[in-house]
Chains A and B, each alone.
Chain A
Amino acid sequence: MKLARPSRRRPADSVTPLINVVFLLLIFFMLTGTISRPDLLDIQPPKASAGTDEAAAGVRIQLSAEGRMAIDKKRMTLDEVAAAVAQRRLAEPTVKIVIAADGKAEAGKVLNLLDALRRAGVERISLATVRRR
């Protein structure tokens, strides 16, 4: 006996739930994350529970664990950092300076940088930290 194969018609999968989920993910990432410019050097700032929310930094000086320095996407020596900061301060004397130093960097390296900044006329700086959980 020949049985006719029942035509199994698959109902067209609705794309709507998929789109719903994708939209939800999109909104989640848009709201919870922050978009920041990636650093040139690999830096894990020290953890701290105190501190204020990071405001937009005028100059962000990166200092890696090995003591290398950079501003934005440019590697610099200590003198170049001081010169860049001094030049920036000519245009904008109250520019906010943030030192994003690695938690494993030696304090002496940070002190060297502070010395150079002081010679450039800087009086207050901020140290970048990551919130301790």
Chain B
Amino acid sequence: MQITRTRRPVRVLSLTPLIDVVFLLLIFFMLATTFLDTRRVDVSVPRIDGGVGGIAGAFMISIRSSTQLELNGQAVSLEQIEARVRTRVRQNPGQVFQVFPDNAVRLQRVMDVLDRISKAGGRSVTLERQEAEIK
């Protein structure tokens, strides 16, 4: 006796649920991702006694306003700071660079200075308050 094999119909797999899920994933990632390249700059928190190597080797940058910068009391430009930091790092790689921003200066300005120090090879930076402003 010959038995004809029953032909099982090939069921077409429905793609719709797959597409639904993929769309949901897509929307999730579109909403949840940010393309901002966030990074960080390390800063030391100064101790209260402020003893970071004494006056002799001090490298103090004061940020007076958005245009005025002082290095150990002399007015300088951002470019000069970068050059001075570079020569100092060559002499003393462990040099601590103290940055004293005025209270009203915007953080972006402070970051511009930190950026220059970092670019010139300065690794150890502290953020401190101007002595005159400690009350």
Which of A's residues lie within 8 Å of B, judged by CB? 15, 18-19, 22-23, 25-26, 29-30, 32-36, 45-55, 98, 101-108, 110-111, 114-115, 117-118, 122-131
CB distance from A69 to the nearest CB of B (A): 14
Residues of B within 8 Å of A15, CB to CB, are 15, 19
Check B108–A111 contact: CB distance below 8 A: no
Residues of B within 8 Å of A125, CB to CB, are 42-43, 45
Known: A107-B63, A107-B101. A117 touches B40 (CB 8 A): no
CB distance from B106 to the nearest CB of A (A): 6
CB distance from B125 to the nearest CB of A (A): 10
Is B110 on the interface with A (CB-CB < 8 A)? yes
The 14 listed contacts between A and B (C-beta, < 8 Å) are: A46-B110, A48-B111, A51-B115, A53-B40, A54-B39, A98-B40, A105-B107, A107-B105, A108-B103, A108-B104, A118-B46, A118-B48, A126-B40, A127-B43
Which one of A46, A55, A108 lies within 8 Å of B108 (CB-CB)?
A46
Known: A22-B23, A118-B47, A118-B48. A104 touches B107 (CB 8 A): yes
Known: A22-B19, A29-B26, A111-B127. A48 touches B114 (CB 8 A): yes
Is B56 on the interface with A (CB-CB < 8 A)? no
Tally of B interface residues using CB under 8 Å: 47
Residues of A within 8 Å of B102, CB to CB, are 107-108
Is B1 on the interface with A (CB-CB < 8 A)? no
Which one of B39, B48, B104 lies within 8 Å of A131 (CB-CB)?
B39
Stretch among B28-36, B71-79, B90-98 lining the A interface: B28-36
User: Which residue of chain A has the shortest Cβ distance to B120 in the bound complex?
Assistant: A50
Check B115–A33 contact: CB distance below 8 A: no
Is B129 on the interface with A (CB-CB < 8 A)? yes
Check A130–B107 contact: CB distance below 8 A: no
Check B45–A29 contact: CB distance below 8 A: no
Check A114–B45 contact: CB distance below 8 A: yes
Is B37 on the interface with A (CB-CB < 8 A)? yes
